[in-house]
Amino acid sequence: MSFIRTEDRDGVRVITLDNPPVNSLSFALSGELVPIVEAADKDDSVKAVVFVGANGIFSAGADVNDFSTEPTPETRTIRDVIATVERSNKIFVAAIQKNALGGGLELSLACDYRVATADTKVGLPEIKLGLLPGAGGTQRLPRLIGAQDALDMMLKGKNVKAADAKEKGILDEVVDSADALLDAALALALRQAKGDTGGGKRRISRRKVELGKGITAQAAPFIVSQAHKMVPAEDAGGFAAHKLIDAVEAAFELPFDFGIAREARLFEELARSAPSFALRHVFFAERELAKIPGLGDAKPHDIKRAGVIGAGTMGTGIAITFAQAGIPVAVIDSNADAVEKARQTVFGMFMYQVQKGRMTQEEAWKLGQSIQFTDDYNELADADVVIEAVFESMDVKKQVFAKLDAIVKPEGILASNTSTLDIDEMASVTKRPDKFVGLHFFVPANIMPLLEIVRGKDTSAQTLATAFKLGKALRKTAVLSTNAFGFIGNRMVFDYAKAAGALAEEGISPMRIDRVAKKFGFPMGPFAMGDLSGIDVAWHIAKARPDVAKGRTDVIDRLVEMKRLGQKTMAGYFKYDKSVGKGREPIADPEIEALFAEEAKKHGVAPREVSDEEILQRLVFALINRGAYLLEEGVALRPGDIDIVYIFGYGFPPHHGGPMWYADEVGVKHVYDKVVEFGWEPAPLLKKIAEANGTFAALKQGELVNA
């Protein structure tokens, strides 16, 4: 298969990259491209070269699949293409549409000029894969825009819009449309080939590294040491960041070619590092989510109008999410105070975006207008989807759905935002169980990226396909769950919380347990998380399903009796003080440690010494064991789905790849042995994989689970 097309236009060789869907610069494409660039360089009839991408995009960068294959001496990579461009004395122009990311941007930086369409975003996002820009980006970008800005852009892995990229000097021209792009690039190439505008050959490699506006060279060491201080420690997710800073330091200190060699060595070290393997797993797992067996050619409906029942925190957040996706939404609530509060929240949210310069006043006003508040259900007659977000009571929800079923057009989808209740039971009061689905948003719904799509026993393939299409439109990371108590994330967090409670009953302070979890990479520990979500919420769930969520003592009951419900009452597992961290900073409370000891004694739980290592194992292996159950129960489709849920919804450190990936990292047999040692009931699947010395990753190919 050919990945490259060439065409000569008035002495300019147009080289088109064509590797659908995103023109990833694979080893195969690079192998084809090197001789083509060499031929263009040697051909006297060629005055200049223009690179352009097919498939509506320039390039998404190197092919991430290639990093796990060992290159042979014959392998050509994007680095070889770039070195070939660098050696040529011809004028090279990159004509960029939509995206030039990673190696795609690095290829364009080896060119003398860059032209892009106005909708283009450029970036070096390699850090998100636990890598650094390994095709010259760490050496050229600092020479082009200054070290300070280059470090900021590469360490955040953020994409830059065309207008900003032009202002930074990354782009030379921006054109309004894709139709104008190639002509603009050809004209620029010819002008520069003639050399009559003074620009001519412009190798970035020949420039000196500027540190940044008004920063003198003597400050270089300071910039480097500051940058190292600003990123996480190497074993806490910052491994690639520190190596990237080392590569940029080489750009200051070494001649260009030496800097390139240093960058290549650091890249190879990262490509083989555990955090990078984990982050590349997350990259692909996220893109697997919507690939649901049996969905095949189900045609999703368009969602043009939406409805939300309930103007509480969840309902308002969901409504904002729809508005931000450009989908008009009607929010139904009979409680005037709730509606007023929701209006204020929406108004405040959009004004915040205006203050942050993320949107204009007019855009904010229009978005605000796209959310209609009313108490009249009949406004929903023409809605394509209606999401219920009322109190977590099955009776209340059933009343809502019976009413909706009589009003919403027959093809309208009815959905519940419930976090644990039975989707099928709700569907049973409607005449449309095939169009009934769970859409579990995470609070705050307009911020949290995770969405659990819950399939009822009668949910049709078309409804499911529509739900996934809606998830993408809402810019959510949507994961399929079947209809089981707590779905995926919450079902796992019950075990995680129980493991944390058990440790505290054995005399380990909640503060120490949280500290171990945070050292592993969680943004907050289990007790701070419990205080944030509310002790009363945990209490309700433990009452509804003691088999699933009740610990071995009555600490939660005691806390509720003491009205210590968490952050919202300034006391829960921890104390909170408005003058400390704006009342959100957990403060250890000896009274609670005494409560745990008292409850432990009452229930015959003996205190014991526990190492930090065991604390972490009991927290994380509880997640893994439950995840294994969810896989064999068919609640979760793939191990990677569970990883995505726990990373995006519960803050599992992405550089450990998610709970199931982490099990493979530490060894499933080791996890199994520890689960047995802790006295837990190991999931049969965990046992099966452990005995086969297998991995959860292998399950993706359907192995082991059928063993």
Q: Is 681 one of the catalytic residues?
A: no
SS (H, E, C) 70-98: CCCCCCCCHHHHHHHHHHCCCEEEEEECC
Closest to ligand T1G by CB, 285 or 560: 285
Which residues ranging from 125 to 144 are in contact with ligand T1G (CB under 6 A)? Answer: 125-126, 129, 131, 133-135, 137
Instruction: Write the single-letter amino acid at 505.
Output: E
Beta bridge partners of 59: 100
Q: Which of 86, 106, 388, 505 is catalytic?
A: 106
Q: Which of 7, 86, 126, 234 is catalytic?
A: 126
Instruction: Write the single-letter amino acid at 246.
Output: D
Closest to ligand T1G by CB, 126 or 249: 126
**In the bound complex, what is the minimum distance in angstroms from residue 160's beta carbon to ligand T1G?**
13
Closest to ligand T1G by CB, 105 or 389: 105
Residue from 102, 146, 640, 694 touching ligand T1G (CB under 6 A): that is: 102
106 binds ligand T1G (CB under 6 A): yes
Give the integer Cα–Cα distance in Å for 536 and 539. 5
Q: DSSP for 403-438?
A: HHHHHS-TT-EEEE--SSS-HHHHHTTSS-GGGEEE
The separation between the first and the last C-alpha atoms of the chain, rounded to the nearest angstrom, is 37
Angle, nearest 10°, between helix axes 684-691 and 612-632?
100
Closest to ligand T1G by CB, 1 or 606: 1
Nearest CA to 322 out of 481, 440, 476 is that of 476
Closest to ligand T1G by CB, 479 or 528: 479
Give the integer Cα–Cα distance in Å for 386 and 447. 20
510 binds ligand T1G (CB under 6 A): no
Residue from 4, 49, 64, 82 touching ligand T1G (CB under 6 A): that is: 64
Instruction: Write the single-letter amino acid at 61.
Output: G
Closest to ligand T1G by CB, 294 or 410: 294
The helix (H) or strand (E) run that includes residue 5 is: strand 4-9
**In the bound complex, what is the minimum distance in angstroms from residue 288's beta carbon to ligand T1G?**
7
- Interaction pattern, residues 536-555, with ligand T1G; x per rule: CB under 6 A: --------------------
53 binds ligand T1G (CB under 6 A): no
Residue 50, SS3 per DSSP: strand
Give the integer Cα–Cα distance in Å for 460 and 432. 10
**In the bound complex, what is the minimum distance in angstroms from residue 135's beta carbon to ligand T1G?**
4
Point out which span in 63-71, 196-204, 235-243, 305-313 binds ligand T1G (CB under 6 A).
63-71
Q: Using alpha carbons, list the distances in angstroms from residue 71 to 66, 67, 259.
A: 8, 9, 22
**In the bound complex, what is the minimum distance in angstroms from residue 61's beta carbon to ligand T1G?**
3
Q: Is 126 one of the catalytic residues?
A: yes
Beta bridge partners of 332: 309, 374
Closest to ligand T1G by CB, 67 or 672: 67
- 691, 700 Cβ separation under 8 angstroms: no
- 104, 153 Cβ separation under 8 angstroms: no
Question: CB nearest ligand T1G: which residue?
Answer: 102
Residue from 62, 260, 389, 620 touching ligand T1G (CB under 6 A): that is: 62
Which residues ranging from 648 to 707 are in contact with ligand T1G (CB under 6 A)? Answer: none
Closest to ligand T1G by CB, 52 or 135: 135
**In the bound complex, what is the minimum distance in angstroms from residue 90's beta carbon to ligand T1G?**
23
Give the integer Cα–Cα distance in Å for 554 and 617. 24
154 binds ligand T1G (CB under 6 A): no
Residue from 12, 63, 142, 289 touching ligand T1G (CB under 6 A): that is: 63
641 binds ligand T1G (CB under 6 A): no
Give the integer Cα–Cα distance in Å for 641 and 221. 43
Closest to ligand T1G by CB, 111 or 492: 111
- 16, 54 Cβ separation under 8 angstroms: yes
Which residues ranging from 255 to 284 are in contact with ligand T1G (CB under 6 A)? Answer: none
**In the bound complex, what is the minimum distance in angstroms from residue 324's beta carbon to ligand T1G?**
17
Closest to ligand T1G by CB, 138 or 481: 138
**In the bound complex, what is the minimum distance in angstroms from residue 130's beta carbon to ligand T1G?**
10
65 binds ligand T1G (CB under 6 A): yes
Residue from 12, 14, 60, 645 touching ligand T1G (CB under 6 A): that is: 60
Point out which span in 100-108, 231-239, 369-377, 694-702 binds ligand T1G (CB under 6 A).
100-108
- 680, 622 Cβ separation under 8 angstroms: yes
Beta-carbon contacts of residue 13 (< 8 Å; ≥ 6 apart): 6, 7, 40, 43, 46, 48, 49, 50
- Interaction pattern, residues 6-45, with ligand T1G; x per rule: CB under 6 A: ---------------xx-x---------------------
- 658, 477 Cβ separation under 8 angstroms: no
514 binds ligand T1G (CB under 6 A): no
Residue from 16, 19, 97, 99 touching ligand T1G (CB under 6 A): that is: 99
Give the integer Cα–Cα distance in Å for 127 and 7. 35
Residue from 40, 48, 49, 78 touching ligand T1G (CB under 6 A): that is: 78
Closest to ligand T1G by CB, 129 or 150: 129
Cα-atom radius of gyration of the chain, to the nearest Å? 28
175 binds ligand T1G (CB under 6 A): no
393 binds ligand T1G (CB under 6 A): no
243, with CB counted inside 10 A (0-12, 13-18, 19+), is buried
Q: In the sheet that 413-416 helps form, which strands lie side by side, from edge to edge? A: 371-374, 329-332, 306-309, 385-388, 413-416, 436-441, 450-455, 477-482
With contacts defined by CB under 6 A, how many residues of the chain interact with ligand T1G? 24
**Which residues are marked as active site?**
106, 126
> Could you list the residues that contact ligand T1G (CB under 6 A)?
21-22, 24, 60-65, 78, 99, 101-103, 106, 125-126, 129, 131, 133-135, 137, 287
